[in-house]
Structure 1
Amino acid sequence: MKTILVAVDPQHDADRVLARAAQLSEQHKAAVVVMHVLDDMGVMEPEMRAAAGRHARATLETLIDAPRFARAPTLRVEFGIPHRCVTKAAHELSADIVVIGPGQPSTLLQRVFGSTADRIVRMASVPVLVVRGEHARRYGTVAAAMDFSPLSEAALEAVRGLAPDARITLVHAYEAPLPFEQAMLRAGTLPDDAEHFRRSRMNDCRRQLLDLARPHGREENVLVLQGAPGAALVELSQGGRVDLVAMGTQGRNATAEVLLGSVARRLLSEAGCDVLVVGPARV
């Protein structure tokens, strides 16, 4: 890891986000760019725009005095639509990762289609680390959520690079499809037989996880949870057993996420630890 882009909102969790960025910078000896985007809606007078830019830069300079970085961060203040500016900057800088806070939806539009953090996660061409945890110590225990797709494997690869010393557990949440469960009931399947089927499928998932873990020559556990992936992963993240959850997401289509629900969005809003998300542009 060579370059970390940190996007901060001074009003929401900036200290926590910068502390995590400082820890990663020290661990990986990486350069850090700290960015803040001001949305002037295109109506701000030039003098006001310049003053707002100076004030934002001074605020960033004050914020970075607290955490310790491997080297002095570069500061970047821009005007525009926040998620577009951040994802564009990540591309221009060839950043290895974007570090952000979870944010808070502040309008009805954001509550429906997602906050700035949601949109950065969906659009970024690099992994996005969403800082939710209270502490910025090195990651010691990591859960990599696996659905056996190329995106989840990309997330596993990303977290191995991000936290090379951490103990990683490959996690899969299995829930039998409702139509299949209903079909078994209509066919008169006995409860013991249905449970045997579930256990058999969970054992198959465990074997697939082991196949993913073995080739990398490091100690990695596997865990198969029963239940809906969103609920199971949130419960795991809140149990104090992991410092970080890594996952892939298909989230290019905001409307589809609203209608179908999103495991990633649920983790972003409810997780009890940090979340690393890898999107479609990574595969």
Structure 2
Amino acid sequence: MVKPILVISECPHPVGHAAARGAMLAAALQCRSMDFLSSMREATALCECMEDVKQARASALLRFGVHCSARFDFGAFPASLMKRAIDADPLLIATAWQAHEWWPILHNFNLLRDICRASMKPVLLVRQPAHKPYAHAVFPSDFSPDSLNTLKVALRLLPATRLTIVHAFHVPGEGQMRAAGVRDDVIGTCRRNAERTAQEAFARMAAELRPRAAKLSLVLLPKPTGMAVANYVNAVDADIIVLSDSQRWLVDDWSWQTRAREMLEKTSSDLLMVSSPNTRSPMVAGSRMLVNHEGGEG
């Protein structure tokens, strides 16, 4: 039996985009169930929250044949929902982009990261209306074992999506070589060696992923990651970016988060974050359940 897709939201942020995308993915994955977990800070918002979820549930059933259950929590988001999310053991957690008056990029990236690390489940941050299935995914990869794990998860969750692996590389010591007057043809040889190393790593990864590797392609960007990947995403109009939240040393993790936030700021694509089994985060406790509504009309 295929696990359900879980859609989490905080009232008054609309749940529609995330619910539609979750239902679309559920149908593609032969998953006929989806769960809603909605949080509110005040009990007076319950009616508004229930109405929003009711409309999303009806749309999921009518458009994709996906049956939904709904639960409503009172407390801070996402802490109030995390224990419920873990208990549900979903295939995927989807949440919508949240408006924020001062720091929307930081707020939404931290939300995505925290949910992914606490739940250890793939988390989809939905930014765009779900008019059609994802056509093109971009995955910035360093060809590490954690990248391979992320790629396997992405291929499983996005079965009909073309996936481009983007590897941004640099020639070690290029700046010093140029400052020392090293000839361009020598630096060019170093660059070609770096490209060949990346292509060989891609070939090994593709060999391990057969037959699904047919959907993969490789793009090499000889620039620092951040903006190089963002520019590529925008140029090809990719509709989803895959991020690997793998185990890193503290400084490396800060650097990765900075690059990821920059990419989030410079693009408008949805994001799928996959956490490595080695990436652990303290469990946050759920809060008191207010309403539990299973099946039927809300």
Task: Calculate the TM-score normalised by the size of structure 2.
Answer: 0.78
Confirm whether residue 8 of structure 1 aligns to residue 3 of structure 2: no
Q: Please name the residue that 1:89 is paired with.
A: 84
Alpha-carbon shift at residue 260 of structure 1 (Å): 6.6
Equivalent position to 2:239, from 226, 237, 243: 243
Q: Please name the residue that 1:222 is paired with.
A: 218
Between the aligned residues of both structures, percent identity stands at: 22
Q: Please name the residue that 1:138 is paired with.
A: 133
Structure 2 CA distance, aligned partners of 1:2 and 1:112?
29
Structure 1 contact 140–243 (Cα < 8 Å) conserved: yes
Residue range with higher mean Cα deviation, 121-130 or 157-166: 121-130
Aligned to 1:66, what secondary structure does the other structure show? Answer: helix
Structure 2 contact 137–242 (Cα < 8 Å) conserved: yes
Structure 1 CA distance, aligned partners of 2:14 and 2:229?
23
- What whole-Å deviation, never above 9, does each CA across 1:154-179 have from its counterpart, x for those lacking one? 210111111222222222111345xx
| Larger relative contact order (Cα-Cα within 8 Å, sequence gap ≥ 6) | 2
Structure 1 CA distance, aligned partners of 2:108 and 2:55?
33
Structure 2 contact 245–276 (Cα < 8 Å) conserved: yes
- What whole-Å deviation, never above 9, does each CA across 1:91-130 have from its counterpart, x for those lacking one? 1111111111232344569948954334324433111112
Aligned to 1:142, what secondary structure does the other structure show? Answer: strand
Structure 2 CA distance, aligned partners of 1:172 and 1:13?
35
Structure 2 CA distance, aligned partners of 1:270 and 1:37?
29
Q: Please name the residue that 1:78 is paired with.
A: 73
Aligned to 1:82, what secondary structure does the other structure show? Answer: coil
Aligned to 2:67, what secondary structure does the other structure show? Answer: coil
Q: Please name the residue that 2:284 is paired with.
A: none
Amino acid at match of 1:39: R
Structure 1 contact 142–169 (Cα < 8 Å) conserved: yes
Structure 1 CA distance, aligned partners of 2:162 and 2:275?
23
Confirm whether residue 18 of structure 1 aligns to residue 19 of structure 2: yes
> Residues 261 and 170 (structure 1 numbering): CA distance in 2 closer, same or farther, change over 3 Å?
closer
Amino acid at match of 2:19: L
> Residues 91 and 253 (structure 1 numbering): CA distance in 2 closer, same or farther, change over 3 Å?
farther
> Residues 172 and 22 (structure 1 numbering): CA distance in 2 closer, same or farther, change over 3 Å?
same
Alpha-carbon shift at residue 210 of structure 1 (Å): 1.6
Task: Calculate the TM-score normalised by the size of structure 1.
Answer: 0.81
Structure 1 CA distance, aligned partners of 2:98 and 2:107?
14
Equivalent position to 2:37, from 30, 35, 38: 35
Residue range with higher mean Cα deviation, 146-155 or 253-262: 253-262
Aligned residues: 272
Structure 1: stretches of 5+ with no match in the other structure: 41-48
Structure 2: stretches of 5+ with no match in the other structure: 280-298
> Residues 247 and 184 (structure 1 numbering): CA distance in 2 closer, same or farther, change over 3 Å?
same
Aligned to 1:8, what secondary structure does the other structure show? Answer: strand
Equivalent position to 1:204, from 197, 207, 210: 197
